[in-house]
């Protein structure tokens, strides 16, 4: 290593000969810094949470990986890697000879990936907090095994009241066998064969933050009290005031927006202003709603607990004191004091136990715990069901029970549409008239689109299987029955139920693949995340020698995975899994035997903490600002470049979604939501319609609710720490005043800068200030740079007036972040939560690791997932962003199941990039039409659209 450093130093001296601060000189300085960084040695994983990485590197590393630009931003709270070479568009590429530029860009991107892997490893080490009773074992270990190396928990056994209790072993050792392990079960039990209850419906949400930091509203003691004094409550600061003052979309022409309803007759001249993401489409917004309906729900059958509560619009701070709003102020804000909502369910609010280790007292769980009503697995349960009730809404085709039911709709082509809910189906009255789906709540036209699409995909797989069965009825289809493992199952032997179960596995894996390799790289549109996400799925070696990948995968599973050494089984495992990829890890083991858990379960790694989503994950998925108010409706058979109508999103909600889908057809909706840009996740960019939504189930004076205020209230109900402590808990740098929400590198007179300053002013009024007391320690999650504890003054002089930055709600804080890595639709605070949980969702699921095998999926199923559909891999034209790559899975699913869209999709590389956009050469964010879409209305300057509108 030292020799390498000295060689770099020599190279830098040679390049520096001309002494100018030319690109060559900058590179010479950078190389010198690289040498210094190498000589200083590799950073160690933090031994304790309060000295962790924080995404900030040494000066030498910043200069080495990003040159002078990376140095400029080292004093901000935001992560450094986004300023490295090659992590942005082509302006982030160095201006040197092409070969040198390429290698410098590689250095920047590799540096970013290194930082991200450091974050992931430290997140695994410091941010897993299970609520189900296993946390004490995680800290203390059990029977000589350290906590993070534990793989089996008594708490993950099925309870005696579970119908499968005796089948898995009853009161004795529990192990899932036979039919219970063949596919994804309704309630999600037996994914982990030895921990049957893990991730199943009704199990508890976990946490990613120390239990002591949760529920800051009710804490009467300790750091939390010091952090917030008595300033916080469920409705304090007032959530509806926050919504109206900080989240409302400001309209240049309110009449054209019609309060989010547009204009009569869906006139295309309507306009609701919203800040748009040039590189991400409305399909992507609906996609993530579709995903959350698979992963988690606090609600049961579309409702919360029976009691109702107020939702604010009552007070605002005046000189730091909550003061009732006057009727005039209420009118001016536009909020509603009479709104009420049903309280959230709480599964257990009894006092948690405590234990002591190393002189420190710990809570065994958070003070209140909530249940996840869905299966936590990525199992397409929004389509196939997650409990006995939801499964009754899943309709099989009586003509071929391996298929899901689709029915013809008059005037529409293709394989048909989802049937409607019938009188016999279990349902909340609000769902009447909707399509039948396992998860029918908050039904939108986008959900209708995606449910219809993946129902068609399920049936496409069944059709292809049946074709193969007709052609080669006696061939081995790959499937095996664990109760009779030696028996070859031929194509012709497969029962409809077996084929249905295999199709579900395939659809769920395709969805996971789309999310990992297509949706996320477009959400985080840049080279590091393209590489990182493909690394999670195919491995960084994915395109290299498959034998090397296989060998590495086996080493990881057999050596690191089985090790009782905590460092090997957690840190090494995570780092080395990026080589072969997480997906399929442990599935290519010699002598694989489906009757033995060491094979079927051998590839999962829970890192010592049973898998479920943490409450904090739900918080960062409160992505309501993604939705526009109006959908720019287009007709494929007329002129796809023309916005024919503007349809209010609220008029495509619940049964109106179904009606819109059936009358206008799936292809037109695909075109519509594929071409339109979604809303940026920023302050002052939340949909107007969501502030005024009518929910018929609310038997209240107004019958209305402000969903954006509710997002804040629900997080408070769930005890999510406020933004600054949230960041400290996740190993990100804290903010010290509202001014940190201003990007000081922007020109003082720029519109963005002025807007940020306005927002900061409003935050100061809404959240207030206080006189600080340096004797109050407010956290133990981090320490100051000089190793002193962080106190109430956050570095300001004792007794000075400081911003109540500690009180900012996490949703508000992440929307306010002024600096984001290039092409990031989300903020870095949201992203850090994904780094941990997105990879755990794969690491923990045996059907994505060691059970990704023909014995479960069929041979056709394994190939279908690997090749993105039937037949061999189809390659994309050219090399988008410099990569030769397969046609991505969502594009294939769309083309296969909605063939009317084939011509439209042909030039599209990523189905979540607005379909008519020219992607440029290297991660361009420009809003420019591709060839053939020059006349698309969405590319006309807003002034031209408005002027045209006025003339009509
Ligand atoms: C027309 C579009 C949408 C409507 C009308 C809508 C409406 C709602 C409503 C009424 C709730 C329940 C609030 C409660 O009582 O706790 C909710 C929750 C939620 N929504 Fe949306 N939503 C929409 C789109 C989206 C999108 C695009 C996302 C993106 C991820 C999203 C994410 C969430 C999340 C994470 C929750 C919390 C769920 C939970 O607590 O388990 N929603 N939404």
Please give the average per-residue pLDDT across 783-810, as a whole number: 97
Q: Which atom of ligand 1 is nearest to the CA of 344?
A: 16
Please give the average per-residue pLDDT across 498-516, as a whole number: 97
Q: Which of 362, 856, 291, 378 is nearest to 611 (CA)?
A: 378
Whether residue 757 contacts residue 844, with contact meaning beta carbons closer than 8 Å, is answered with no
Q: Which atom of ligand 1 is nearest to the CA of 342?
A: 15
Q: Does ligand 1 lie within 6 Å of residue 213's CB atom? A: no
Q: DSSP alpha helices (H): ranges in 631-675?
A: 655-664, 666-675
Distances from the Cα of 569 to the Cα of 576, 581, 592, 824, angstroms: 11, 16, 22, 31
Rounded to whole angstroms, how far apart are CA atoms 860 and 863? 5
Q: Which residues contact 447 (CB under 8 A, 6 or more apart)?
A: 286, 289, 290, 293, 437, 657
Task: Tell me what pLDDT residue 585 has.
Answer: 85
Task: Tell me what pLDDT residue 544 has.
Answer: 47
Phi and psi for 475 in degrees, rounded to 5? -75, 155
Tens digits of residue pLDDT in 622-636: 999 999 999 999 999
Helix (H) or strand (E) holding 63: helix 59-72
Using the mean position of ligand 1's atoms as its centre, give its distance from the Cα of residue 25 in Å. 52
Strand ranges inside 624-777, DSSP E: 630-633, 645-648, 677-679, 693-694, 704-705, 769-771
Question: What would the 3-class secondary structure string for 349-364 be?
Answer: CCCCCEEEECCEEEEC
Rounded to whole angstroms, how far apart are CA atoms 584 and 798? 55
Using the mean position of ligand 1's atoms as its centre, give its distance from the Cα of residue 621 in Å. 9
Q: Does ligand 1 lie within 6 Å of residue 790's CB atom? A: no
Q: Which residues contact 866 (CB under 8 A, 6 or more apart)?
A: 873
Rounded to whole angstroms, how far apart are CA atoms 926 and 89? 10
Q: Does ligand 1 lie within 6 Å of residue 373's CB atom? A: no
Using the mean position of ligand 1's atoms as its centre, give its distance from the Cα of residue 869 in Å. 31
Tens digits of residue pLDDT in 243-267: 999 999 999 999 999 999 999 999 9
Which of 234, 260, 292 most suits a substitution to test ligand 1, by most atoms within 8 Å of the C-beta? 292
Core vs surface per residue 532-551: b (16+ CB within 10 A) or e: bbbbbbbbbbbeeeeeebbe
348 has which bridge partners?
Answer: 369
What average pLDDT does the chain have?
92
Q: Does ligand 1 lie within 6 Å of residue 284's CB atom? A: no
Tens digits of residue pLDDT in 414-466: 999 999 999 999 999 999 999 999 999 999 999 999 999 999 999 999 999 99
Whether residue 665 contacts residue 297, with contact meaning beta carbons closer than 8 Å, is answered with no
Length of the chain: 952
Q: Does ligand 1 lie within 6 Å of residue 304's CB atom? A: yes
Task: Tell me what pLDDT residue 2 has.
Answer: 43
Judged against a pLDDT cut of 60, whether residue 235 lies above it is answered with yes
Rounded to whole angstroms, how far apart are CA atoms 341 and 694? 12
Nearest CA residue ID for atom 1, ligand 1: 444
Which of 301, 428, 442, 704 most suits a substitution to test ligand 1, by most atoms within 8 Å of the C-beta? 442
Distances from the Cα of 223 to the Cα of 284, 615, 775, 800, angstroms: 40, 21, 11, 20
- DSSP code for 478: S
Coil, strand or helix at 771: strand
Rounded to whole angstroms, how far apart are CA atoms 421 and 453? 18
Tokens of 298: 């606090």
Q: Which residue bears the tokens 């190393």?
A: 358
Q: Which of 49, 108, 280, 38 is nearest to 915 (CA)?
A: 280
666 HSE (CA, 13 A, CB side): 26
Q: Does ligand 1 lie within 6 Å of residue 649's CB atom? A: yes
Coil, strand or helix at 595: coil
Q: Does ligand 1 lie within 6 Å of residue 626's CB atom? A: yes
Task: Tell me what pLDDT residue 22 has.
Answer: 83
When comparing pLDDT for 546 and 821, which is higher? 821
Judged against a pLDDT cut of 60, whether residue 698 lies above it is answered with yes
Q: Which of 101, 870, 749, 753 is nearest to 467 (CA)?
A: 870
Tens digits of residue pLDDT in 563-577: 777 776 776 666 556
Rounded to whole angstroms, how far apart are CA atoms 855 and 870? 18
Whether residue 589 contacts residue 850, with contact meaning beta carbons closer than 8 Å, is answered with yes
pLDDT band at residue 9, thresholds of 50, 70 and 90? very low
Nearest CA residue ID for atom 38, ligand 1: 297
Tens digits of residue pLDDT in 722-766: 999 999 999 999 999 999 999 999 999 999 999 999 999 999 999
Rounded to whole angstroms, how far apart are CA atoms 181 and 584? 17
Rounded to whole angstroms, how far apart are CA atoms 78 and 790? 18
Q: Which atom of ligand 1 is nearest to the CA of 298?
A: 41
Strand ranges inside 128-270, DSSP E: none
């Amino acid at each position: 290593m030292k020799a390498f450093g000295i060689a770099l130093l020599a190279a830098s001296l040679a390049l520096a000969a001309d002494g100018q601060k030319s690109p060559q000189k900058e590179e010479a300085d950078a190389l010198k810094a690289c040498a210094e960084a190498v000589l200083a040695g590799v950073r160690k994983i933090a031994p304790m949470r309060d000295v962790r990485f924080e995404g900030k590197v040494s000066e030498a590393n910043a200069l080495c990986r990003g040159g002078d630009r990376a140095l400029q931003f080292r004093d901000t709270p935001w992560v450094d890697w986004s300023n490295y070479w090659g992590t942005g568009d082509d302006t982030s590429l160095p201006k040197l000879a092409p070969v040198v530029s390429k290698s410098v860009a590689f250095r920047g991107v590799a540096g970013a990936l290194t930082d991200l892997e450091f974050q992931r490893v430290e997140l695994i080490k410091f941010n897993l907090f299970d609520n189900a009773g296993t946390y004490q074992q995680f800290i203390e270990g059990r029977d000589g095994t350290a906590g993070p190396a534990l793989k089996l928990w008594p708490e993950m056994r099925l309870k005696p009241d579970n119908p499968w209790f005796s089948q898995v072993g009853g009161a004795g050792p529990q192990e899932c066998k036979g039919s219970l392990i063949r596919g994804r079960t309704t309630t999600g039990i037996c994914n982990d064969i030895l921990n049957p209850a893990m991730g199943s419906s009704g199990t508890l949400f976990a946490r990613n933050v120390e239990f002591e930091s949760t529920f800051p509203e009710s804490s009467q003691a300790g750091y939390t009290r010091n952090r917030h004094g008595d300033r916080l409550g469920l409705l304090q600061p007032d959530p509806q005031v926050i919504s109206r003052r900080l989240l409302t979309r400001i309209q240049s022409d309110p009449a054209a927006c019609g309060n989010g309803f547009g204009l009569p007759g869906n006139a295309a001249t309507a306009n609701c202003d919203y800040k748009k993401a040039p590189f991400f489409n409305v399909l992507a917004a609906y996609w993530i709603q579709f995903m959350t309906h698979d992963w988690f729900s606090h609600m049961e059958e579309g409702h919360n607990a029976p009691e109702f509560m107020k939702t604010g619009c009552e007070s605002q701070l005046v000189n730091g004191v909550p003061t009732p709003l006057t009727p005039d102020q209420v009118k001016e804000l536009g909020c509603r004091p009479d709104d009420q909502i049903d309280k959230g369910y709480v599964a257990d609010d009894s006092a948690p136990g405590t234990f002591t280790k190393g002189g420190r007292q710990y809570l065994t769980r958070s003070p209140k715990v909530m249940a996840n009503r869905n299966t936590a697995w990525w199992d397409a349960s929004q389509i196939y069901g997650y409990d006995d009730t939801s499964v009754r809404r899943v309709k099989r085709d009586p003509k071929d029970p391996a298929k899901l039911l689709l029915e013809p709709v008059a005037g529409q082509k293709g394989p048909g549409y989802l049937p409607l809910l019938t009188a016999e189906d279990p349902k909340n009255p609000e769902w009447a008239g909707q399509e039948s789906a396992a998860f029918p709540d908050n039904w939108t036209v986008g959900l209708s689109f995606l449910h219809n699409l993946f129902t068609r995909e399920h049936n496409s797989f069944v059709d292809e299987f049946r074709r193969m069965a007709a052609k080669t009825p006696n061939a081995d289809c790959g499937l095996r029955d664990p109760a009779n493992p030696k028996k070859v199952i031929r194509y012709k032997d497969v029962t409809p139920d077996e084929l249905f179960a295999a199709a579900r596995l395939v659809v769920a894996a395709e969805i996971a693949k789309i999310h990992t390799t297509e949706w996320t790289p477009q959400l985080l549109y840049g080279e590091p995340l393209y590489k990182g996400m493909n690394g999670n799925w195919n491995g960084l070696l994915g395109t290299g020698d498959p034998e090397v990948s296989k060998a590495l995968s086996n080493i990881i599973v057999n050596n690191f995975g089985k090790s009782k050494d905590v460092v090997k089984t957690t840190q090494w495992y995570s780092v080395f899994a990026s080589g072969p990829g997480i997906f399929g890890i442990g599935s290519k083991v010699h002598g694989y035997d489906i009757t033995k858990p060491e094979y079927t379960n051998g590839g999962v790694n829970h890192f010592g903490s049973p898998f479920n989503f943490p409450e904090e994950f739900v918080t960062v998925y409160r992505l309501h600002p993604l939705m526009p108010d109006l959908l720019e409706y287009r007709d494929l058979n007329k002129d796809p470049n023309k916005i024919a109508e503007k349809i209010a999103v609220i008029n495509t909600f619940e049964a109106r979604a179904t009606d819109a889908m059936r009358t206008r057809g799936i292809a037109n909706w695909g075109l519509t939501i594929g071409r339109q840009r979604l809303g940026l996740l920023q302050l002052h960019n939340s949909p107007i319609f969501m502030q005024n939504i009518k929910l018929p189930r609310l038997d209240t004076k107004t019958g209305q609710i402000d969903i954006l205020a509710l997002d804040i209230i629900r997080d408070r109900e769930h005890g999510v720490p406020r933004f600054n402590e949230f960041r400290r808990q996740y190993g990100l740098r804290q903010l010290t005043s509202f001014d940190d929400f201003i990007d000081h590198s922007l020109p003082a007179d720029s519109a963005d800068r002025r807007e940020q300053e306005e927002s900061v002013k409003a935050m100061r009024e809404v959240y207030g200030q206080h006189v600080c007391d340096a004797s109050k320690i407010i956290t133990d999650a981090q320490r100051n740079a000089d190793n002193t504890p962080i106190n109430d003054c956050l570095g300001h002089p004792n007794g000075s007036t400081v911003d109540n930055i500690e009180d900012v709600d996490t949703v508000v804080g992440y929307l306010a972040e002024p600096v984001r890595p290039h092409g990031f639709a989300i903020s870095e605070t949201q992203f850090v939560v994904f780094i941990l949980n997105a990879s755990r969702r794969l690491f923990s699921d045996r059907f994505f690791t060691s059970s990704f095998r023909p014995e479960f999926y069929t041979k056709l199923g394994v190939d279908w997932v690997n090749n993105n559909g039937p037949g061999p891999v189809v390659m994309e034209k050219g090399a988008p962003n410099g990569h030769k790559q397969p046609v991505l899975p969502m594009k294939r699913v769309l083309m296969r199941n909605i063939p009317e869209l084939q011509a439209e999709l042909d030039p599209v590389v990523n189905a979540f990039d607005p379909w008519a956009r020219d992607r440029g050469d290297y991660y361009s964010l420009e809003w420019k039409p591709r060839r053939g879409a020059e006349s698309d209305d969405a590319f006309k300057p807003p002034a031209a659209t408005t002027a045209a509108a006025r003339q009509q």
